[in-house]
Amino acid sequence: MWFETAGAARRVAWDKVGSYTVSTVFLAINHNFGDYEGAPILWETMVFDENGEEAHCLRYRTREEAEQGHKIVVEELRNDNFQT
């Protein structure tokens, strides 16, 4: 129920870097497909190109990992060091 009404509260971070958009969000659904013993994967960073197409996706187990991962991707894009 929270997920349906949370809106922007699901967003961890959002940045526009050149022609890329970087968005990190709380997924609410466990994306741990296969490592059933591991912790749930509940956060995701998506990188979109200028056409809105997915250029890269990273997933995380904790909000702290998601925040750090987002910062790393943004920094790599700013330094023209990003690998898709």
Task: Summarize pLDDT for 24-66 with one digit per residue, the tens.
Answer: 999 988 888 776 677 899 999 999 999 999 999 999 999 999 9
| 43-70 core/surface letters (b: 16 or more CB in 10 A; e: else) | bbbbbbeeeeeebbebbbbeeeebbebb
Task: Summarize pLDDT for 23-34 with one digit per residue, the tens.
Answer: 999 998 888 877
Q: Note whether 47 and 57 are within 8 A (CB).
A: yes
Please tell me the pTM assigned to this model. 0.86
Domain definitions of the chain by residue range: 2-78
